[in-house]
Structures are given as structure tokens and as C-alpha cells.
Amino acid sequence: MLYLSLVFVFILSYSFYFYGKKRALSLKFKKNENLSSLPDYYGYYVVLLVFFPAIIIWFFLLIFKSNFQEMFVMSPVLFPDVATWSSGKFGLIMNKISNLSIIVNLSEIDLTVGDKSILKMASESEIIAAKNLANFDKIYGWSNLTLFIILPVLLGFLATKSISGKLNAQPIVEKIISYVIKGSSYIAIFITFGIFFSLVFEAINFFRYVNFMDFFFNTAWNPNRAFVINASEGFDQEALKEAFGFVPLLTGTLLIASVAMLVAVPLGLLTAIYLAEYASSKVRDIAKPIIEILAGIPTVVYGFFAALSLAPFIKDVGEGVGLPVSAESALAAGLAMGVMIIPFVSSLSDDVIKAVPQSLREGSYAIGATKSETIKKVILPAALAGIMGSFLLAISRAIGETMIVVMAASLRANLTFNPLEPATTITTQIVTSLIGDVEFDNPKTLVAFALGLTLFVMTLILNIAAITIVKKYREKYE
Amino acid sequence: MVDQNSNYALQTSEVYVHYGKKMAINNVALNFPKNEVTSLIGPSGCGKSTFLRCLNRMNDVIDICNVKGKFLLNGNVDIYSPDIQVETLREKVGMVFQKPNPFPKTIYENVAYGPKIHGIASSQNELDEIVKDSLHRAGLYEEVKDRMDDIATGLSGGQQQRLCIARAIAIRPEIILMDEPCSALDPIATAKIEDLINELKENYTIIIVTHSMSQASRVSSKTAFFHLGNLVEYGETGKIFTKPDKEQTNDYITGRFG
Amino acid sequence: MSSLEKRLAAEKRFKFYGMFAMTLSLFFVLILMYKIFSTGSGAFVRTTINADVYFDPNFIEVSSNSSKKEIMKASYVDLADQVINQNHPGLDEENFIKVREMYTRKFDYQLRDYIANNPNVIGKTVNLDISASSDLDQIVKGNYPRNVPEAQRKINDYQLSILDSLDSKGKMSKTFNFWFFTNGDSRDPETAGILGALMGSFYALLICFSFAFPIGLLASVYLEEFVKPGKITDIIEVNINNLAAVPSIVYGLLGLGMLIGVFGMPYQVPLVGGLVLGFMTLPTIIIASRASLRGVPPSIREGALAVGATKMQTVFHHVIPLSLPGTLTGTIIGMAQALGETAPLLLVGMVAFVMEIPGGAFDPATGLPSQIYLWSESAERGFLEKTSAGIMLLLSFLIIMNTVAVLVRRKLEVKW
């Protein structure tokens, strides 16, 4: 229904283009008024005045549908004291009503069938609320549809009425469009603010439960130890102190990222060098797209591969030579991540190497340097800044990578630098703490945002450092 | 026929160059006398730069470029022979390019690079001496002696080009190829480079491609005129510029085309 | 000349390293593809057991006159048991359970669907191919070894003997597994399908596109055509570059904290997933679109302005149409990335067990990559091939999208 009403918004706004234009033409030819703009612009004028208010309201109703649903079901008419309820009680009743509504729905609002014991326990107003809930989608949809037929028509007629010869439609139309364009570009800023504030806000909530220093300097990570003793005492403060120690997550993240970089940097860089300096154009045309495929493969695929094939393989090899290797070793996750990052490093390095002017190569060849000497002593030093930048971006990628570690790394925190042991990462723990019950008043959930904020800041610093280094060196050499 | 006379630093004959299917040099034979400056002149696209790049096999870098012909160094070394390492050849035949192309390293490292890779210097002191001497000969030492560790790209265009010359002579070549070395420079810097060329010819054989006929007449003793991939005329510079044998040459030097 | 020999040896070594690195990278692509295709191809085939099914009216609650709704509502568990008894006469209770386990648990649904499509069949006997259970399917496909002690097998000795006797009678066969493409998720690997996840991803991408494309296009038009470079554009520029490098999981946190936490949007739905993917794709589209706008030569703008067009007319009549192929290419590539993105979906709850095919952006759903993740976490061997098959499907979509992007660029892009 909501989508159907969107179609109505489009069709009605579009048809008002003709209506507005017709009105302008009739002013010109029947009433001999001088128009300030071309007739087309009166059409656009009406369209914009219909479309934008309607589409904004449509989005509003789409986004806040569930709020309306709550208001509709938990109306003060049915529950006079609803305003005084705590959020816990509100949630409980809402839950009960939604369970009821399923029964009501199944028995097609015939309350004589179905599980009567639940129905008996429900109050009269709860049953009505449940029926309302069951009908909400229909009611909301239909009222929506009605609204988006009436609203555009009303707006359209009002806008058309306001057309006169003196009205200069073109500048108005252009002004509206320029605001829309400007607004669009500010959305990028809003998203950044949104990320920052939603992280900071929930992270602050987390640090209400857990001391800042405890979080960043403790070496034990056992979020399951954070539990409520009882309602009056809240969380076990002693256990909370010990539950959220960030250090093993950081070391685990760095360990796996280091393994990944150890794979990706030599392979990626050498591949880029080979393709840019040695390979014939035929080899380049075939090999480059194939390696780029590695970049396009979703990370969930790498995670599956790491968990299914790589980890058992490494375990077998390790045991073959008498090394104890965990089934969830940091090595397996790191290797898969390294393969994922190869094309990232190689394509960035390739761009950088290509950007080194041909005259430098010729200068070196002319002295009698071999290709490899030219590469090692002239091209790489000249391209160093760009290459360092690409490494930093690759590290940032590795630290923020989620699926590979969720699927192949361990869930258990382990303070170790041995890649054969299991290790967990920041991203793994974010996902683990948010899968299942999400409770915004529990540090077990909130810690995800504190971790997310730390991750965001870490990657931000790496990205900014990458950009700055590249810029600085470029200025130096240009 | 190739003359076995060892007064020539470099002898070439039956040179053909193709870029893919396009012919760039058509049957050129040219000999370069020792310790003299030879200019290659001609209109744009006449093949003079292509020919120059054949002399130290710089065209090897270009995949589609196909070079045929005889090139003899010092009367006995065939530079396109499979036995010859291109690196060794370039040690003997240095090159300076149209646009100054110093490496983005320090001034010192730019000059020291060649001696280092070829293992010319046996000690740090010797290397320092080579760098100093090369910069001296390139007439740059006085200007840069206090900032040897600055990045070379900070020098002016003329200084950069002289640095590139210093870089080329640091490996003690026998021949220096110059591909329009002054085209990116202002007149003062150009005058300095020309003075330098006059000094350098004492010790080196220099082959210079130039667009400027006045430059050719100022610096060179022999001149070769190229047109459309053909060598039209070769002779003493004075003769070429005063009474050339061929009408085409006359038309070019008097400015009727080119 | 030993120094030169050394240098040439070093040259050779270095070239070899480069070639080795490239070959290794290519090898990784091959081994990954091989692994996925070799485990995934089995999912497109399903083992079936041929059986005579007598639609005994005594075991069917409905008649041929019943409405379709009634037929769909009724239970066919007894009928299914009856069919097994008829095809395997003389089973005691213990053995009956063992034989029942060889057939899919959803046997009764298969019968129900047959009756719903052919109501007149009641009272008649029909020869049908009944789907085998996933464990039996895996034994037949050879993914489970047969020659191990009984305790290590999911299929016991008795079941193996029944299997062999069925096989010798020619009753075992294989059929193309349509269910994989037409079903939603299921607890039983043999009936689990990808359609629910596919539709979930489709709705999410629809939302993603309708958010990110218009806004990305207009934002890039503003930044390239309407503002002079200054502080604000610098801030936006830095912002967009940083947004492009923010880890995807952070976008998931944005979706959870802001859209779900603050705006109260529902959990598990493609609407939220799509918006989060849209936030993520926006920088990609803006960057591509700006590059494309920059590629339109100034002479076009000057030409239009010279005939008296306003700035707005110049941009909308000339510049945007010319830059659109580049923008579209960037958009398709961005959407392809969004399709493969898993972590944000996990955080906004699009990773639940959902049997129904979602009918819109408000229905609970999983996405293609999150379904792959879900299946990969299942212990049963039958889901392993489903996971790989899901990956094959996902990769095919990505290849199609990227090919379309390349074609759009080749066919439509104007070269200046």
C-alpha cells in the first residue's frame, strides 16, 4: 500500500505538469496576459510544489511507521495510564499484545477458537489492542493511500491557482532545485555526524557501567561475566571491572592484520611491479582482471573458505610437522584476509607506479641500470609515498574487516602474539555482542558501540595519515 | 660499408627502424668521429631522436619498436649483438634527455647512483670524489656544494639539466647522447649548457639532437640533416649551414619548411 | 665482469619473484573458485525416491471438493506415514522410524502441494518421486563416506540396506533441485531455498538505489557545478573520502544505533538494511559521478551559456546527460559492492531464520550474503553445498552487475 501511494505521488505530480502548463497557456492566449517565464516552467513549478511536500511526508510516514503503530495500539483510550508506564512494562505489554494478535489473526478475529488460556489471561482492552494491531497494516495502508491521493490533488490545485502572469516561475523553480541539490550534498556530512553521534552516545552509556581505564587497560575479556545480581543492586560491580578488557581484542586484531599484511604486501607489491614493468600487454590484459576478481569477491566468501578449507588445512600441516595449531588459528583468518587484500595493494600500487614519469625510468636505463635496479632504486623510492599510503589504507581495511574474522577467528579472547593460537578481534566482538538479544540498557550490548567508536577512530586516523603522507610527498617531489 | 677506421667512436649503417608497421628510419648510415660534437637536425618527426635512441638501445624499452642495422662501437663492438649486455653498453654510451629528469633523491645520490650500480667506486671517498668531479665538470659544483643532501627536484631547470649531465658523466662514458637538452630551458641556462658541451668534447664524443640551427652551428663540428626518416645530408657544420649540397637542406636551414 | 653477472642474476631473481607473486595471486582465484564450484554444484541436484502414492481418502481430512485454503490448512502427516507403510510393507515400529527418516521431513507438504494442484487425485494411486532426506542425499552423492563404522554415520546399516534394495529396483533417482530457487529458508537442507534471501537483497538494493542514486547524483552536481572550491566543499570532500573508507560494520552500528535505536525503525527488515547500504554506497556514487562530471569539457558548458541558457539549464540539459553513463557505471559497481556486504546486515538483524518469502521492504528477511553466513554456520553437511551454491549465485549476480557496468561504460560513454 505504501508503495502504491508512492506511485500515486509520482503519477499525480507528473500530471500536474500538464495542468500547470495549460493554465499558463490559457492565461497567455485567452486572457492575453504576458507571462514572465516560458509556459513549461509553470508546469515545473506546480510539479515541484506537489512533489516535494508529498515525498517528504511519504518518507516521514514510512520511517515512523512503527512509532505510529505503537501509538495506535497503546492508545490512552484503551490504557488510560499508559503515559506513566516504565519502558520495561511498556515493552512487556506490547510483547503480550503482539503475541495475542497472532492468535487473533489465526482465528480470523473469531475469539472462540484458538488458545483460550492466553486469551483468558488478557484484559478486555488488551484484546482490543491486539485486534487493532492485527488490523494496523491494513488501516495504515489505506489511510496512507487516501492521504496521497487527496494531498497531491489539493496541493496541485492550490499551486495552479497561484499562477498568474506576474509570477516568474523560472527563478522559483531553479531556486527550489538549487536547495534540493545543496541539501543532497550536505547529507554526506549528516551521515558522518550520524555515525559519530550514534557511536559516541551509546559509548557514553557504556562507560556509565564500565570505567574508562578498566576498558582500555584490562587484559581480560569475558563479557558474559557482566550480569545482574538482582533488580535493586544492578550489575555485579566487581565482575564488571573484569569483564570488558579491550587489550586482548586489540592484540588479536593487530595479530590477524599483521598476518594479512605479511601476505598481501609482498604479493600485492610484486604483482603490481611485475604487471607494470615486466609483463607483456597480453599477460597484463588477462591477469589484471582476474586478480581484480579477488577484490570483488564478498568477504563472506573468504570467511567461508577460511573456515571450511584453510583452517583445517593449516591445522593438518601444523600437526604434520608436530606443531599444535588451533582450529581457529589467527593464521587461517589472517591468510584469507591477506588474499582478500592482495588486489587492493596491487591495484593501488599499480596506479602509483604508473604515475612515476617515464623520463625517470629512461634516466636510469641510460646510465646502464638493469630493470630491477631501476625499480628498486628509482621507481620505488619515487613512488614510496603513494605505496605507503596504499599500505596504510590496506591496514585500515584489515582492521575493519568483519566477516572473515567472524567466520574463521575465535570468539574467545586470547592475549597472544602466536599466530597458531586462536585470537579474537574488535569486529568479531561487535558482531557477537549484537547478535541475539539487543538491549540498549545492558553493557553487553553497549560495548559494541564503544568498540565501534574505537574502531572508527583507529581507521579514521589511518585514513587521514594515508592521505596526508601522500600529499606531503607529492608536494616534495612535484 | 662500415669503415674499420678506429677514429670513429661509433659507426652505423643500414639502419632501419619501424614503430609497428610505420617506418621511422629508412636506411641510414652515419659515423661519429671521436671527441667531436655531431648535431642531428631536421624537422619534427624526421626520426633524429629515434635514431639517437638507437645508439644506446633506449628503444628496447618500447615494445613495438623494431631496430635493424649495424652499429659498431670503437670499430669492433656490435651494440645489438646478443653477447652485449645493454647495461654495459649504456655505461659506455650515456644519455641526457629533452626534459631534465633528476631522480627524486638528493643531489649527491643522483650523481652517485650510476657509479654505485656499476661498482665503479671502491670506497666511499672515491665515490665522493667521482661525484664532486662530475659536478665540477658539469659546472654545477660551485652552485650546489653546500646543499648536496637537498632533493634534486628543488633545483632550477637549468641546474637540473646540468645535474643530469653530471649524472651521465659520472659513469665515465665514451659517448654522450643529448636529446634536445636545452629545449626546456631559458636562454641563460641554454648558454651555460652550450659552454659545457664545448668543454666536454675534450674528453667525450657528443651526439646532440637539436631543433635550434644556431645551437647546432655554435656547438658542433659535424652536422647531419634528417628528413622523413632519411639522412639527407651529412658534413662539416660550416659547410652544411653555408653551402649545402642538397636543395632540401638549403630549404630547411633557410627556413622554408620545418 | 663478475659484478655484471651478479647484477644480471639479481635481475633474473627479481623478475622471477614478480612472476611468482602474480602466479600465486592467480592461483588463489582458481583454488577459491574450484572449491566453491566443486562443493556447490551438488546443491542443484536432489535425490528422490520413487514411490506409489495411494491418496487414501481415509487418511485425508479434505475431499476433492474442498477449497484450496482448506486443502492447504489440513494435515497430511498420517497420509505420509501410510505411503511409507505401503511402499515398505511389514515394518515394525523401530524400523518404520528408520525408514521414515530416509524421506524428507516435509514429505507431507510435498503431498499437500500435489493435492492442492490436483484435487481430483484423492482416491487414486499415482507414481511420485519423493524427496529423500538430506542425510540420505549426502550418502548418495558420496559426500558422506559409507565405509566407516555405523556409529560415525548419519545413515545406519539398516537404512543403507533399504537404500541398496531401492537402488537395485531402480527407485532412486535424481532431479533438478527447483526448490533451491523457489523456497525460503528451512531447517531441513533438502527443502531450504534461496528465494527468500534473494528477495530480501532485492528489496534492500531497491531502497539502497532509491536513496543513494538521486542524492549521490545531485550532491556531485552541487559540488562540481555550483560551488566554488572553498572551506565547505573541502570539508564535504574530506568527509566523502573518509566515508568511503569507513569499515562497513560501522555503518551497521549507525543503522542499529540511529535508525533502529533512535528513529524506532523495525529490526530485521530490508528497509533498514537498504538504507544502511545506501549510506555506504553514497560516497562511491558521488566520487564516480564527480569524476564523470569533470570529464565533460568546459566547451559544452560555454556553448550552452553562450546561447543564453541559465546555469541550471546548462547543467540539466547538457552536462548531466553527458555525464550519466559514468555515474551509472559507478552506481552499478557501488550496488554490486552493497549486494556482497554482510556485516551491516548482521547488525540490523537481517540474519534471522525466515521461512516466508518477504513481500516487501517491511517484512522480516535475510539478504543473500547473510543467508550464506547463516547456512555456513549450520552443522549439517547438507547446508555446506547450499552455502557454496548460494555463493555461486551471489558471484553470478556480481559478475552480471559488473559486466553491465562495463557495457554501459563502453556503449554509452562519450570520449572527449
ipTM of the complex: 0.90
pLDDT on residue B258:
52
Q: Which of these three, C143, C175, C207, is where a domain ends?
A: C175
Q: How many Cβ contacts (< 8 angstroms) between chains B and C?
A: 10
Element (H, E) at B179: strand B175-179
Which residue among A280, A281, A366 places its CB closest to the CB of B90?
A366
Residue of C nearest to B116 (CA): C3
Phi, psi of B77 (to 5 degrees): -100, 115
Hey, of C5, C8, C14, which one would you mutate to test binding to chain A, going by the most A CBs within 10 A of its CB? C14
* CB-CB under 8 Å, A459 with C347: no
Q: Return the amino acid letter for C273.
A: G
C225 with C344, same domain?
Answer: yes
Residue of B nearest to A373 (CA): B117
Structural domain containing residue C86? 48-175
CA distance C173 to C131: 10
- Chain B residues with CB under 8 Å of A357 CB are 101
Is the domain spanning B8-103+175-253 CATH 3.40.50.2300? The answer is no
CA distance B212 to B224: 13
Task: Examine residue C361 and state whether it is found in any structural domain, yes or no.
Answer: yes
C90 with C227, same domain?
Answer: no
Which residue among B85, B118, B119 places its CB closest to the CB of C8?
B85
CA distance B160 to B155: 6
C199 with C170, same domain?
Answer: no
Residue of A nearest to C266 (CA): A66
Cα–Cα distances (Å) from C160 to C49, C83, C96, C164, C175, in that order, read 14, 20, 14, 6, 21
Residue of A nearest to B170 (CA): A367
Which residue among B95, B105, B168 places its CB closest to the CB of A381?
B105
- Chain C residues with CB under 8 Å of B117 CB are 7
**C-alpha angle C314-C315-C321 in degrees, rounded to nearest 5:** 110
Cα–Cα distances (Å) from A140 to A98, A137, C263, in that order, read 17, 5, 18
- Name the C residues in 4-23 with CB < 8 Å from any B CB: 4, 7-8
Please give, rounded to a whole number of angstroms, the shortest distance from the CA of C161 to a CA of chain A: 32
The answer to whether A195 contacts chain C (CB < 8 Å) is yes
Where do the domains of chain A lie?
2-167, 210-243, 247-477
Please give, rounded to a whole number of angstroms, the shortest distance from the CA of B124 to a CA of chain C: 18
Q: Which residues pair with B207 in a beta bridge?
A: B38, B177
C204 with C297, same domain?
Answer: yes
C267 with C327, same domain?
Answer: yes
* CB-CB under 8 Å, C247 with A270: no
The answer to whether B116 contacts chain C (CB < 8 Å) is no
* CB-CB under 8 Å, A368 with B97: no
**Model confidence pLDDT, tens digit, residues B176-206:** 999 988 888 888 888 988 998 998 888 899 9
* CB-CB under 8 Å, C3 with B87: no
3 state DSSP class of B72? strand
Which residue among C22, C247, C254 places its CB closest to the CB of A198?
C254
- Chain B residues with CB under 8 Å of C3 CB are 118-119
- Answer whether C386's CB lies under 8 Å from C192's CB: yes
- Answer whether B97's CB lies under 8 Å from B179's CB: yes
Phi, psi of A282 (to 5 degrees): -65, -50
Please give, rounded to a whole number of angstroms, the shortest distance from the CA of B90 to a CA of chain C: 13
* CB-CB under 8 Å, C36 with A305: yes
* CB-CB under 8 Å, C7 with B117: yes
- Chain B residues with CB under 8 Å of C7 CB are 87, 117
Task: Examine residue C15 and state whether it is found in any structural domain, yes or no.
Answer: no
Residue of C nearest to A426 (CA): C249
Instruction: Collect the ranges in chain A with pLDDT lower than 50.
Output: 108-114
Hey, of C11, C22, C220, C332, which one would you mutate to test binding to chain A, going by the most A CBs within 10 A of its CB? C22
Label residue B1 by pLDDT band (50, 70, 90): very low
C133 with C86, same domain?
Answer: yes
The class (CATH top level) of A247-477 is mainly alpha
pLDDT on residue A249:
93
**Neighbouring residues of A153: CB distance < 8 A, sequence distance ≥ 6:** A12
Which residue among A357, A367, A478 places its CB closest to the CB of B171?
A367
**C-alpha angle A186-A187-A189 in degrees, rounded to nearest 5:** 70
The answer to whether B119 contacts chain C (CB < 8 Å) is yes
C263 with C348, same domain?
Answer: yes
- Name the A residues in 132-191 with CB < 8 Å from any C CB: 170, 174, 177-178, 180-182, 184-189, 191
Average pLDDT, chain A: 84
Residue of C nearest to B88 (CA): C4
Counting as contact any 3 or more CB pairs under 8 A, the partners of C are: A, B
Task: Examine residue C100 and state whether it is found in any structural domain, yes or no.
Answer: yes
* CB-CB under 8 Å, A301 with C391: yes
The answer to whether A343 contacts chain C (CB < 8 Å) is yes
pLDDT on residue A475:
63
Please give, rounded to a whole number of angstroms, the shortest distance from the CA of A301 to a CA of chain C: 7
Task: Examine residue C350 and state whether it is found in any structural domain, yes or no.
Answer: yes
C143 with C216, same domain?
Answer: no
3-state secondary structure chain C: CHHHHHHHHHHHHHHHHHHHHHHHHHHHHHHHHHHHHHHHHHHHEEEEEEEEEECCHHHCCCCCCCCHHHHHHCCCHHHHHHHHHHHCCCCCHHHHHHHHHHECCCHHHHHHHHHHHCHHHCCCEEEEEEEECHHHHHHHHCCCCCCCCHHHCCCCHHHHHHHHHHHHCCCEEEEECCHHHHCCCCCCHHHCCCHHHHHHHHHHHHHHHHHHHHHHHHHHHHHHHHCCCCHHHHHHHHHHHHHHHCCHHHHHHHHHHHHHHHCCCCCCCHHHHHHHHHHHHHHHHHHHHHHHHHHCCHHHHHHHHHCCCCHHHHHHHHHHHHHHHHHHHHHHHHHHHHHHCCHHHHHCCCCCCCCCCCCCCCCCCCCHHHHHHHHHCCCCHHHHHHHHHHHHHHHHHHHHHHHHHHHHHHHHCCCC
Please give, rounded to a whole number of angstroms, the shortest distance from the CA of B3 to a CA of chain C: 29
- Chain B residues with CB under 8 Å of A353 CB are none
pLDDT(B7) > 90: no
pLDDT(B250) > 50: yes
Q: Tell me, what CATH number does C408's domain have? A: 1.10.3720.10
Q: Is C185 exposed, middle or buried (0-12, 13-18, 19+ CB in 10 A)?
A: buried
Residue of C nearest to A453 (CA): C250
* CB-CB under 8 Å, A368 with B91: yes
**Model confidence pLDDT, tens digit, residues A257-296:** 999 999 999 999 999 999 988 988 889 888 888 888 888 8
* CB-CB under 8 Å, B88 with C7: no
CA distance A251 to C9: 41
Please give, rounded to a whole number of angstroms, the shortest distance from the CA of A291 to a CA of chain B: 24
pLDDT tens digits in sequence order for chain C, 416 residues long:
467 888 889 999 999 999 999 999 999 989 999 999 998 888 899 899 888 888 888 888 887 777 877 888 788 888 888 888 888 888 888 888 888 888 888 888 888 888 888 888 888 888 888 888 888 888 888 888 888 888 888 888 888 888 888 888 888 888 898 889 988 888 888 889 999 999 999 999 999 999 999 999 999 999 988 887 778 878 888 888 888 889 999 999 999 988 888 877 888 899 999 999 999 999 999 999 999 999 888 878 887 777 777 788 889 888 998 899 889 999 999 999 999 999 999 999 898 888 888 888 888 899 999 999 999 988 788 899 999 999 999 999 999 999 998 888 888 766 65
Which residue among B87, B91, B99 places its CB closest to the CB of A359?
B99
Which residue among B101, B113, B177 places its CB closest to the CB of A359?
B101
* CB-CB under 8 Å, C4 with B87: yes
Report the 10 Å Cβ neighbour count for C133. 25
- Chain B residues with CB under 8 Å of C4 CB are 85, 87-88
C64 with C137, same domain?
Answer: yes
Per the structure, the count of domains in chain C is: 2
DSSP-assigned letter for residue A210: S
Which residue among A63, A298, A401 places its CB closest to the CB of C340?
A298
Hey, of A1, A38, A175, A274, which one would you mutate to test binding to chain C, going by the most C CBs within 10 A of its CB? A274
CA distance C389 to C380: 15
The answer to whether A449 contacts chain C (CB < 8 Å) is yes
* CB-CB under 8 Å, B87 with C7: yes
Please give, rounded to a whole number of angstroms, the shortest distance from the CA of A378 to a CA of chain B: 7
Element (H, E) at B26: strand B22-33
Q: How many Cβ contacts (< 8 angstroms) between chains A and B?
A: 79
Cα–Cα distances (Å) from A19 to A6, A47, A169, A364, C255, in that order, read 20, 10, 15, 72, 41
Where do the domains of chain B lie?
8-103+175-253
**Model confidence pLDDT, tens digit, residues A366-385:** 888 889 999 998 898 888 88
Nearest alpha-carbon partner for C272 in C186, C184, C370 = C370
pLDDT(B145) > 60: yes
